[in-house]
């Protein structure tokens, strides 16, 4: 017998909340504290992870699955959406900085250079209304971000705002940190934290209905943020 499967966002990120809301989804939030866990996942899940040259236990799609799996235990019968974003420069992960000095050091490394932002997405689909979701739909989105050259004074001023301290790579492209970014090749919303096209596709495959076209959503979201699309190369949703 069919049952109404609610949607849960396994993230406390206000940016992911905004983007999923803009996509037209009706959902609740269950945030879990599993980001620091580096335990192995089931071998069959590890085999499904999209290929990427990062340590296996720090794969962003695995991190997204961990969040979704932890939330699923609190919401039997629900569809769970998890996401995780990492910043990679010269093969090195730039995680959330622990303090202002670390944030400044990261931004100095990024200044005038390109780096890759990976966002892993996981949708868990339930097979029974009384059991946690187990069927995994996994994806990984990579975007190339080019920083403009940034002076030491500008870096110090940005870090003083406090914005970089809870952001991977020590910047938020949708906030004041966007002024440091020259261009984004690929998905802009993946850099923000939730790639709209991929999220739309995975949720639609899981049976979530009533979602807005991701390209339309992207333009409306940019307008709500008071932003214009980044210049050439064209930035995608």
| Residues identified as active-site | 84
In sequence order, the 6+-apart residues with CB closer than 8 A to the CB of 175 are 163
User: Alpha-carbon distance 16 to 140, whole Å?
Assistant: 16
In sequence order, the 6+-apart residues with CB closer than 8 A to the CB of 233 are 183, 185
Residue matched to tokens 């979704």: 68
User: Alpha-carbon distance 120 to 115, whole Å?
Assistant: 16
* Residue 29 burial class via C-beta count within 10 angstroms: exposed 0-12, middle 13-18, buried 19 and up: middle
Asked if residue 15 lies in contact with residue 213, where contact means CB atoms within 8 angstroms, the answer is: no
């Amino acid at each position: 017998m069919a049952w109404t499967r609610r949607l849960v966002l396994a993230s406390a990120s206000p940016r992911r909340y905004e983007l999923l809301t803009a996509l037209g989804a009706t959902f609740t939030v269950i945030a879990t504290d599993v980001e620091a866990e580096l335990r192995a996942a089931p071998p069959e899940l590890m085999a499904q992870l999209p290929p990427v040259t990062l340590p296996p236990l720090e794969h962003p799609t695995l991190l997204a699955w961990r969040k979704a799996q932890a939330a699923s235990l609190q919401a039997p019968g629900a569809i769970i959406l998890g996401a995780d974003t990492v910043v990679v420069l010269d093969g090195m992960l730039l995680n959330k900085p622990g303090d202002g000095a670390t944030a400044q050091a990261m931004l100095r490394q990024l200044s005038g250079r390109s780096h890759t932002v990976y966002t892993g997405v996981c949708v868990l689909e339930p097979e029974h209304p009384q059991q946690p979701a187990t069927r995994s739909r996994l994806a990984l989105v990579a975007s190339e971000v080019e920083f403009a050259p940034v002076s030491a004074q500008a870096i110090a001023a940005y870090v003083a705002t406090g914005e970089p301290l809870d952001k991977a790579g020590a910047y938020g492209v949708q906030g004041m940190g966007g002024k440091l970014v020259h261009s984004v090749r690929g998905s802009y919303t993946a850099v923000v934290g939730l790639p709209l096209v991929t999220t739309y596709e995975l949720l639609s495959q899981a049976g979530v209905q009533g979602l807005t076209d991701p390209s339309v959503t992207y333009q409306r979201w940019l307008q709500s943020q008071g932003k214009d699309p980044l210049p050439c190369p064209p930035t995608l949703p």
